Structure 1
Amino acid sequence: MTTHDTRPGSTGGADTAGPLHGGPDDEYTPEQLAAMPREDLDRLGARYDGVEVLHVEPGPEPGSALERRYVRQIGAVFALAGLAAFGFVVVYLGSGWFLPDWEWTIDSGTWSTLFTPLLGALMGLSLILVGLGMVLYARKLLPHETAVQDKHDGSHFDRVTTGATLVGGLHNSGLARRKLITRSLAFMGGGLGLMLLLPLGGMIKNPNTGNPLGRTSWAEGVRLLRDDGTPIRPGDQVAGSLETVFPAVPGGNRQADAATMLIRLRPEQVAESDPRAGQADFGYGDYVAYSKICTHAGCPVSLYEQETSRILCPCHQSQFDVTQGAKPVFGPATRSLPQLPLAVDDEGYFVARSDYIEAVGPTYWNRERI
């Protein structure tokens, strides 16, 4: 079986000798069809397709002042669509490079607050302008024809004449000679392509790179700071007290996962202490430090009852015993609060010996319950 090229603009096999397939093919040989100009094939196909043209409204005269004005208007719309798309690319890629870094916090600055809305506005504007430009092109520059046609089965003849009709449609669009519009379309297409591809990078990128769920800003030698930025020495707290501390890194007191409770135990609590396996040396003297993030649902736990040695979560009433390695003793939490290993630097201030050795925050399906 021979297969012919039937793409629009091709001859559909009309230049190749072969059997005819009924209908008009009985009246025109492939050689005759191949010899006809495209315009004649278009009209011939319409006549045999049963097309009845009811009304024809031609577009503006080629080269006329009206056509040039429409071309400039439509080209400007497509160019603006491209500019909006490239604006999206600039905002998306420029954050943290030549534009301010984007980071959402409760008290975010103006740039961080506007970052996502700005991306949405630029993408929406670009797509709206694309649609507007296409509508204007169809209404202002293309000829308008109203016709009716009976539906019927196709044949070799239909393929050839339909290809000629499609090519005629491209010719009638005037794109080949309207260079301003084709250039603005190319510019717009490049911007749209980048705009639509960039967000996919966030979907393709592995979100677990660097183990973000299992690491915080705590590290060896990082000082413990109060919320006001002052460091802490042993002896600054009275026995039985709790102090919320943060890592001495940029933005440390704004990092929710790094919030830590520094607790100074009373002598009787020290005597009763039973640290978790492998963490007997995580404390420093009568000081211990635990994550402030509840392992049940992530609420901040800092209600400390020194008489019972329990830390209480106000959200769902989980309780953790600080003398038992912050083991949960009541409520829905099933995992102990992670403990931060402590040391003292050369100046006598508290520092972390490392990051938490386990992930902070709520339990998820593959975490061991301890």
Structure 2
Amino acid sequence: MSGVQPNDLPSEAELAGMSRDELVKLGTKLDGVEIVHYEERWPVKGTRAERRAERLVALWFTIAALGGLAFLAAFLFWPWKYEAPNTEHHFLYSLYTPVIGLTLGIAILGLGVGALLYTKKFIPEELAVQERGDGGSAEVDKATIVAELADAGERSTLGRRSLIKRTAGLGAGVFGLGVLALPLGSLIRNPHADSETKASLWHTGWKAENGEKVYLRRHTGNFHEVALIRPEDLDAGGFETVFPFRESERDDEEALVAALKRADNPVMLIRLRPGQSVVKREGQENFNYGDFYAYSKICTHLGCPTSLYEQQTGLLLCPCHQSQFDVFHYGKPRFGPATRALPQLPITVDEDGYLIARSDFIEAVGPAFWERKS
């Protein structure tokens, strides 16, 4: 409090009987505020220029509303499922992410510009100087601040500008629906609802379906080329990233591409040097095929690719946060923030001499998630 002695303060009865203007004057005096400059934006009410300014602000809020509605429509109805290049619907599919970003950006831009224009064109121009005070607020201060806030609201002229209020409410409301759609939309399709499908977090694209054989496939750079791997294709001490392949997918362009792009599919196939001593994980003693070991490439810390292999030490390095996993010791973490070993894929060779997966991983790959207990 500044500038007023305790004896000069109004009593509770006098305080209750004061008008808002009187409370505002008292509040500024108590707060040690001096109004240096005050000027109404529109001293003459209802001019054509004022109405034009109001319509301009309303226009931007309307743009925000339209952008929000377009975002919701695109998020819910735009074709998002993968379409291979050179197919009929690939162009629409390729626009999904840009359309989502553009429409949400328009909604945010409209709200921001509308709020900025309203402040510049309708909020009175005021310059005030206030002394800094310490301590809590007295009852008289609490009463006067309410009056000051109400007075500021009236002086902003927002109360009598129904067009701006309606369009701002519409724009903010639709934008709010769009913001809610992002987290809620991802909950509609629960990845844990059926934990036995390969689409769940518990399984990967290596999960066999209807007993069909799952081969180890290398990525040649051509998404549609199928290059299967035999043991003799990999030199001792070498490694390669491999992906799952089924014969039923050979002529399915979408499936061939999806297998290479699915986040939890990459596996590091490593051929150790002959005679290398290895410690195997309990219950996974037969997951390797001779000197061939296959580990998930997805770091158990935050999901980055563990793509750097040092054959002399047997360490796999994740370049994101420098976690190191010991291939000679069942993929156990040796350094860095990762705390769980890399899951091992059980592999063998079929009757034609190709490396295949004996089953999916027996544990979820990648970082921990809510339902995972270890």
TM-score of the alignment, normalized to the shorter chain, above 0.5: yes
Structure 1: 5+ residue runs without aligned partners?
Answer: 1-21, 225-242, 259-292, 300-312, 320-324, 341-355
Q: Provide closer, same or farther for how the CA distance between residues 296 and 115 of structure 1 changes in structure 2, counting only shifts above 3 A.
A: closer
**Residues 70-149 of structure 1 correspond to what in structure 2 (within 5 A)?**
70-95=53-78, 100-103=79-82, 109-149=90-130
Deviation per residue, 1:159-180 (Å, 9 max, x gap): 1111100001111122221010
Check conservation: 1:257, 1:361, Cα contact below 8 A: no
1:132-173 CA distances to partner (integer Å, 9 max, x unpaired)? 111110110111110101122432111111110000111112
> Alignment partner for residue 191 of structure 2, among 177, 198, 207?
207
From the CA coordinates, give the structure whose radius of gyration is larger: 1
1:254 corresponds, among 253, 256, 273, to 256
Indicate the residue corresponding to 2:132 in structure 1. 151
- Give the Å deviation of 1:122: 1.6
Within 1, Cα distance between the matches of 2:208 and 2:253? 12
Q: CA 1:191 to 1:336, structure 2 compared with 1: closer, same or farther past 3 Å?
A: same
Q: Helix, strand or coil: the match of 1:138?
A: helix
Using the alignment, how far apart are the partners of 2:210 and 2:156 within structure 1? 69
**Distance of 2:114 and 2:348 partners within structure 1:** 58
Of 141, 152, 155 in structure 2, the residue corresponding to residue 169 of structure 1 is 152
C-alpha separation in 1, matches of 2:37 and 2:366:
68
Q: Distance in 1 between matches of 2:366 and 2:124?
A: 63
Which residue does the alignment assign to 2:267? 298
CA contact (8 A) 2:20 2:147 kept: yes
CA distance in 1, matches of 2:144, 2:158: 22
Native 8 Å contact 2:289 2:348 kept in 1: no
SS at 1:176 equivalent? helix
Are the aligned partners of 1:296 and 1:361 in contact in 2 as well (CA < 8 Å)?
no
Report the Cα distance in structure 2 between the residues aligned to 1:141 and 1:118, rounded to whole angstroms: 34
> For residues 103 and 253 of structure 2, what CA distance do their matches in structure 1 show?
30
* Aligned counterparts of 2:100 and 2:125: Cα–Cα separation in 1: 37
Q: Which runs of 5+ in 2 are unaligned?
A: 215-244, 274-285, 295-343, 351-356, 368-374
Within 2, Cα distance between the matches of 1:111 and 1:130? 28
Structure 2: distance between partners of 1:249 and 1:190:
47
CA distance in 1 between partners of 2:25 and 2:109 (Å): 36
TM-score normalized by the length of structure 2: 0.57
Q: Is the 8 A contact 1:338 1:360 kept in 2?
A: no
Deviation at 1:62, TM superposition (A): 2.5
Aligned residues between the structures: 255
1:336 and 2:346 correspond: yes
Shift in CA distance, 64/326, structure 1 to aligned 2, threshold 3 Å: same
Residues 169 and 157 of structure 1, relative CA distance in 2, 3 Å threshold: same
Paired amino acid for 2:93:
S
- Judged with a 3 Å threshold, the aligned counterparts in structure 2 of structure 1 residues 244 and 48 are, in CA distance, closer, same or farther, namely closer
Amino acid at match of 2:96: F
Structure 1 counterpart of 2:247, from 245, 265, 275: 245
Hey, what's the Cα distance between the residues in 2 that align with 1:247 and 1:296?
A: 15
